[in-house]
Amino acid sequence: MRFFSDRRWTLDGLRARLRSEYPSVSRLINLAQSKGTTINAAFQGARIGPFTILSPSQEFYEACCPSSETRLRKTETSSPCWGI
């Protein structure tokens, strides 16, 4: 939680917010886990079977986390381009 300037965020609160903002992803994760699929972070250099993850690095991803909150606030006041 060190990436969020608003210290009122908790890990459970962040999880709940992300699940509500991205319900399809949440359903996909739940389905995968119910089938016994292991979900791992995929950062640069990680190997998944015969594949090697090229990008992003964990450092780059973490640097982008604070700006995600700003994007969430902006989309709350504007309608998405696809009209849903």
Cα distance between residue 1 and residue 59, in whole Å: 15
Cα distance between residue 66 and residue 64, in whole Å: 6
pLDDT under 50 in the chain at which residues? Answer: 72, 74-84
pLDDT at 75: 46
* Cβ within 8 Å of residue 65, ≥6 positions away: 3, 4
Phi, psi of 43 (to 5 degrees): -110, 165
Domain ranges of the chain: 1-34, 40-65
Cβ atoms of 61 and 44 within 8 Å: the answer is no
Cα distance between residue 53 and residue 37, in whole Å: 18
